[in-house]
Structures are given as C-alpha cells and as structure tokens.
Structure 1
Amino acid sequence: MDTILRRVENHVLKILSEQLPNHYFYHNYTHTQRVVKHINELVSAEGLGEKESEILQIAGWFHDTGYIRSRHNHEEESAQMAEAFLKAEGYPEDSIATVKDCILITKKNGKPSNLLQKIICDADFSHFASKNYMEISDLLREEFRLLDGKDYTDISWAEENINMFEEHHKFYTAYAIANWQPQKGKNLLKLKKNLSKLREKKEKDKLKKADLKRKKKKAETPERGVETLFRVTLRNHTNLSNIADSKANILLSVNAIIISLALSTLFPKLDKASNSYLLIPTIIFMGFSVASIAFSVLATRPNVTRGKFSRQDVKDKKVNLLFFGNFHKMSLEDYEEAMKEVREDKEYLYNSLTKDLYYLGKVLDKKYRLLRITYTVFLVGIIISVIAFGIATYYVSLSY
C-alpha cells in the first residue's frame, strides 16, 4: 500500500544513500531508522492517535536529512526539505508546520513544549538507553574525527559523554523515564568506571614512563661517568707529558748554553801551561753537561712503531687504533673500516681507550724517570764541578 509514510521513507532512503557523504558514521540512515523505531514505541506507550503517529514518523524520517546540505544548522535544512517534499505531496499545511516544529526541537538543548516534541526528543537520544551504547558512541567519535578534526583521547571522550549524560540530556516522556532511564543510568555508571580505569592506567603509564626515564638516566649515568673518567685522565696525562717535555727542553737549553760558554771561554785558556790546573775540573764540568743533555734527549725522544696492523689484529681486538703509531702506515680505507668496528663495539672502544691510557702512563713513567736522572746528573755535576774548580784553584794558590 502506497502511503505518505512509505513515500517519505523511500525518499529519505534515496537521498541519504545517494547524497550523504561516507564520513557520517553516526548521523546516517541507520540512526534514522532507530529514531523512527523508538518513535513508534513511544507513540504506542503514550496511546497517541494515527495522525500524531504519522506526523512524528515523518519528522523522524526527515530530522537528519539536512546533513546532506550542511552540518551546521542541519535542523533548519531538514525542516525545509520536509516542507518542500510534503507540499509537493499535498500534505496539510498545519501538519507540515507541526512536522517542522518537531524537527527543529531536536536541536541540542531544545526544550520540548508538548508531547509530540517530547517523544521525538526522547527517540533521538534513545541510544543513551541502548545496551550497545559504547559501540554507537564510537561511531559518533569517529565521525567527529573525520569531519571536525576532533581527535578525542579515550579519557576526553569518556568525559564528554558523561558531561552529556549529566548536564545536557534528560528523558521527557513517562515511558522513557520508566523504561529507558534505568539502562541510561547503567551506561553512565559504565562510562564512569571506564573513565576511572583510564585515568588509573594513564597515571600508571605516567609513573612507568617516569620510572623508565629514571632507570634510563641511571643506566646512562655510569656510561657518562666512564666517558668523563677517560676524558679527564687523558687530559691529565697529556698535560703531564707536556710538562715533562718542557722541563727536559729547559735542561737541554741550559746545558747547551753552558757547553757553548765553556767552549768559548775555558778551552782557549787550557793551551797555556799555567792554566793546566783547570783541565780536570773542565772535563768534569763538560762531562756532566753532556750527560744532562743526553738524558734530556732520551726523555723527549719519540718512539716510532711499525705503524701497521692486520685485519686479524682488529678482529682479535689486539690493536689500539686511537694511537697514531699503530696506523700511520695504513691506507685511509683500511683505517676507516677498522674504526667502523671500533665505533660499533662499545667494549672495543673502551678497551682501546684503556690501552691508550696505560701506554701513555708507561711513556710518562719513562719520561719522568729519565727527567729525574737528568736533574740529578745536572745537580750533582754542578756541585762536583764547583768543588773541582775550587780544589784546583786552592792547590794552585798554595804553589805560589
């Protein structure tokens, strides 16, 4: 039987299936069917007549058709579309006005003033009392994300739903209050429990993240400490080596000056027989100066190694690639390949730094031992030379 309700239903199905964008996961034909279904349930419970039932069903079918034109003020668009269709069908003007009023009252925060408006408002939000509310709610959440760019977190979405339940919605009809309100209350309780769990999880995740960060920092601290240890120790060893070289160079320069002066002043006088008493003190003096120079040179003399290594040496971690003496004769390609292994192997890197410290310490030990001998020779030489010159001069003065 071709009735106005059948033509309305077919018309709404056609425009929603053909013109409604795919991003409307919630406000679509399924939602419209659900609203009409619950309108019929409320109409039956309230005992309304056929005319009122027809008006409400028409309003239910049209109430979200405006989404094909605009998301904003879609109620006005829906009302205009319903009016245009119904006029073309010859529907009574007063009934059209009532249909429009029922559609417009579905605006958010609308205040229904009569039973028809209360029924359609309750039917529009009947999913609040659905056992599948969480799944239906997720469809609306995805619609908001795609159309408005509102990417709600689980917590913010739960808070949004709870706020809607408690602050912005209530059922108006006696049937909805008696039969739907209890399930709505269960859904609200479930929302609050979920929110509590989500907040607990967030807090646990926050604590876990902080704990991981603390553990990571704690794990990194020894490594940084090791790096600082190597850096400071290597710098100290280098400074000590520079000090040793500087001291050796000072002694080398002083003794070189002494020998130069001796050659220019003392040796010319030794040709005379009257100055023969200066021969032994001069030889002693020159001997100690030459010995000081020799030890100074030994303290600063570099030790040149073979400057090569094999791939097996790198594989066995036997070569210290941080010391130039071990690679100065190698090609750049071989050295880069070997250094790549050092960079990728933290143990090899630290072992190389340890070896570098050890052998630098051995070099310092040798330098400072030779430097100590040099200073001792120089000091003893000066003392003995002065005594020798004094004794020689004393015996010459007695002979006169």
Structure 2
Amino acid sequence: MSKSLIKETQEFVFNLLKDKLPNTFLYHNYTHTERVLKSTREIIENSKLKDDEIRVLELTALLHDVGYIKGYDNHEEESVKIATDYLKEKKVDDEIIEAVKGCIMATKFDSEPKNELHKIIRDADASHFGKKYFKETSEFLRKELELQGRNKFTPTEWRNENIEVLTKQHSFYTDYALKNWQPRKEKNLAKLMGKKKKRKKKLNVEKMKAKYKTQYKNESPERGVQTFYRVALRNHIKLSDIADTKANILLSVNAIIISVVLANLISKLDNNPYLTWPTVIFTLFCVISMILSIIATRPNVTSGQFTKEDVKNQKVNLSFFGNFHKMELEDFEWAIKELVQDKDYIYKALTKDLYFLGIVLERKYRLLRITYTVFMIGIIVSLISFALAIKNNPGVDIDDVIPDSTSISTVADDYIAYADFKS
C-alpha cells in the first residue's frame, strides 16, 4: 500500500505541475521535487525510522511545493491544502496527514524544525547547498525570481546573497547532512568567497587604473591643444617649403634668361649699339632678382650653444637644432631630461618654435614679394626699353637682333608659368 501510494503521488504531482505550473518556474518545478525526494531517501537510508515516518517524509518531499501552482505567496499553506485534499481522497490516516502538513510547514526557511522528521525534510529541501550542482540550481533560482518579478539580482549581487544565506541563514540539522553535505557546502561557500575576493581585487585594480588615467589625462595636454601645435607647426613648415621652392624656381628662371641674353644679344651689340642700354637694364633686373632669391633662401644658423642657466630659466628652445648643434651629447641629454619633466617648459618650447618659424616665414615671403615685383618690373621696363630702342632706329628687323624669333619675354613668361605650376 505504501509503495503504490508513493507511486500514485508521484504521478499526481508530475501531472499537476506539468499542467498548472507556469513555465517561469525554473527552480521550483518537478525536477526540484525529484531532487528533494532523492535527498530525503538518502537520509532515510542512513537513519533508523519507522515505516509510517518514512511514508510521511516521502509524501512531504513530493507534495511540499505543489502550492506554487497558486503563486509564490503563501505557497506552503497552499501546498498543505492540496496535500490534505489529495491524501483524504486516497483515504490516508489522519495521523499521517497531520504529520505531512507539519513537515510541509517546516520547509519554511525562517522556521525552526520541531522534531526529527522536520529536520530531515529541511535538510533534504536545502540539500543543493551541499551538492556539486549548487551553482546550476542557484542560477535557476536567480532567473526564476527575475521572471516572476520577485527580484532582479546582478551576478555580483546574487553571489553576495548566496554568501549571506550560506554563512548566516542556513545550517544542516541531521547528522548525515552534517557529515556528508556540510563539507561540500563549505567548498561551495569557499568558491563564492574566492570569486568575490577576485572581483573585489579586479574592481580595485580598475578603480586605480581609472584614477591614474584621469590623473594622467588631467596632467597631459588636451587633444585640442595637441592638435593646435601639430597643425600649426606642420603648416609653417609646409609654407617654408613652398617659399623655398618659389625662390629656387625664380633663381633658375633668371639664370636661364641671363644665359639667353649673353648668347643672343651680347654678340649683336657691336653692330647694334642702340641695344646696349636695354640689354643692361634687362640683365640688371635679372641679377637683382637672383640676388634677392638667394637672400630669401639663405639659411641662418645660430650659435648652437646654451648654458645650464638658460635651461633652468627656460630661455632655450631645444626643439630647434640651431640652439644645440655645438653642445656635447651629455649636456643635451640633461637638457632634454629637464624639458620633459616640466609640462609648461614643453609648451613654452613649442610656442617659441612656432613663433620663430613665423618670423622666418615673414622674412622669406616679404623678400619673395619684393623679388617677384622686381622681376615683373624688370620685364616690363626691359620690353619698353627694347621697343623704344627699335622704334628710334627704323629699318632694323627684330630677327636680326634676336635670331630665330627667340623672344626673351616669351622665355620669361614660360618660366613664370612653370613657377606658378610648381608652387
């Protein structure tokens, strides 16, 4: 009778939970019921109990959580009602029914067991604390609470909650559980505390990194400042290169023009003396343009030395080679070390470099403007002087003066166009 009742109760609980228990119950389901029944029988096998007591415990293990089909709140009381109706229908003795009801109410986590049967069912219900599958079942319970809208725990919060339960709220009561499940419970607790310690250490490391990162960010130049110096210095250097290119092109143009003049006009002056002054004027302007181009591109090297007092007083710009090219390596390394230790000194050095680059650029472009103006005026004046000279000497063919219709102005215009293209 006892075995058939247990088997029938198993089928009853299985069908009841299958049909009426919501799918959101990931922990308190039939799997949990079977786990509690297995743990109950494990304790029974190692205890000296009467048949009726065994029957009470097995029935309680099967029926203690059927009340969840009505919801979370007061599920023990609902389990008692369902168990009472079912057992009465099966014509179970009133004494056994009362004992089952008492054992179901004893599964309340905040209650104290009153007898040995209560202790056994309490240990069986919480046996997962002392099992290898504790982590998995605990995670199912966390997710169930979230799906039921009871509480939502982060993994860290849930770990702390489990540590709180295992250390302060739960304890095994039976001798069997204390001997066989308590050691595993302590291992599970140790793992939780170890993870908590690692997490705390990781958070401290991350906090320290964030602190130093913030400190470094505050002490380092802002991105906008870095971009300003980078773009400004790059633009100045590019403008300096353009100025040198323009001066070199103009220098080459004038050199070629002078070569043409010497090759084609000088030999004609004996027979055409009236071209002497136009030729002199033209050549003079070309020579002046060449001299101005040379002056614009001529490098200016400074002394290349500094003193330790200059470094300490932040008067020397170590980013320009002209200030240190004659210094010893040891002195230069010392100066650089002093520079990088002071953020304000670095800013000051970059600012000085930018300023003096601007001074050099102003000089180059001013001389270039004068050079191009002189070259332009020279071309105009020379053409006018040649025109006047030829006009005042009628009957002279221009082809006799400049063979093969070679025009100095055409050559000059071609090279000016080339200069504009290169710049």
TM-score by length of 1: 0.55
Residue 60, structure 1, aligned to residue 28, structure 2 = no
Residue aligning to 2:169: 168
Cα distance, 1:174 vs. partner?
Answer: 1.2
Deviation of 1:209 (Å): 3.9
- Map of 2:223 onto structure 1: 223
Deviation string 1:373-398 (CA, Å, 9 cap, x unpaired) is: xxxxxxxxxxxxxxxxxxxxxxxxxx
Equivalent pair of 1:78/1:103 in contact (CA under 8 Å): yes
Structure 2 CA distance for aligned equivalents of residues 106 and 50 of structure 1: 21
Question: Equivalent residue for 1:16?
Answer: 17
Question: Structure 2 counterpart of 1:123, which letter?
Answer: A
What is the identity percentage for the equivalent residue pairs of Structure 1 and Structure 2? 37
AA matched with 1:108: F
CA shift for structure 1 position 119 = 0.4
Structure 1: distance between partners of 2:127 and 2:50: 22
For the structure 1 residues 77 and 198, does the alpha-carbon distance in structure 2 shift closer, same or farther, using more than 3 Å as the test?
same
Q: Name the CA distance, whole Å, in 2 between partners of 1:204 and 1:77.
A: 50
Deviation at 1:228, TM superposition (A): 7.5
- Distance in 2 (CA, whole Å) between partners of 1:60 and 1:73 is 18
**Distance in 2 (alpha carbons) for counterparts of 1:212 and 1:145:** 37
Question: Who is 1:397 aligned against?
Answer: none
User: Structure 1 217/15 Cα, relative in aligned 2: closer, same or farther at 3 Å?
Assistant: farther
For 1:89-168, what aligned pairs fall within 5 Å after superposition? 89-148=90-149, 150-168=151-169
Q: Residues 205, 52 of structure 1: CA spacing in aligned structure 2 closer, same or farther, 3 A cutoff?
A: same
1:175 deviation in Å?
1.2
Aligned-partner residue type, residue 52 of structure 1: E
CA–CA separation in structure 2 for the residues paired with 1:150 and 1:215:
41
Q: CA deviation at 1:207?
A: 3.0
- How far, CA to CA, are the matches of 1:217 and 1:12 in structure 2? 66
CA contact (8 A) 1:127 1:136 kept: yes
Distance 1:196 1:226 in 2: 41
Which whole-Å deviations, capped at 9, do the CAs of 1:137-166 have from their partners, x for residues lacking one? 111111122223633223222211111011
Q: How does 1:1-400 map to 2 (within 5 A)?
A: 3-148=4-149, 150-213=151-214, 221-226=221-226
Aligned with 2:46: secondary structure?
A: helix
Measured on the aligned residues, the alpha-carbon RMSD in Å equals: 3.1
C-alpha contact 1:155 1:199 (8 A) present in aligned 2: no
Give the Cα separation in 1 of the matches to 2:104 and 2:211: 52
Q: Secondary structure at the match of 2:148?
A: helix
Paired with 2:216 and 2:28, the residues of 1 have a C-alpha distance of 49
Q: Distance in 2 between matches of 1:180 and 1:174?
A: 10
Deviation at 1:59, TM superposition (A): 0.7
The offset of 1:211, in angstroms, is 4.5
What number of residue pairs does the alignment pair up? 243
Equivalent residues of 1:165, 1:188 under 8 A apart? yes
Name structure 1 gaps, 5 residues minimum. Answer: 231-353, 367-400
Where does the alignment leave 5 or more consecutive residues of structure 2 unmatched? 231-353, 367-423
- Pick closer, same or farther for the CA change 1:223–1:157 going to 2, 3 Å: same
User: Could you tell me how far 1:66 is from its partner in structure 2?
Assistant: 0.9
What SS is found at the alignment partner of 2:222? helix
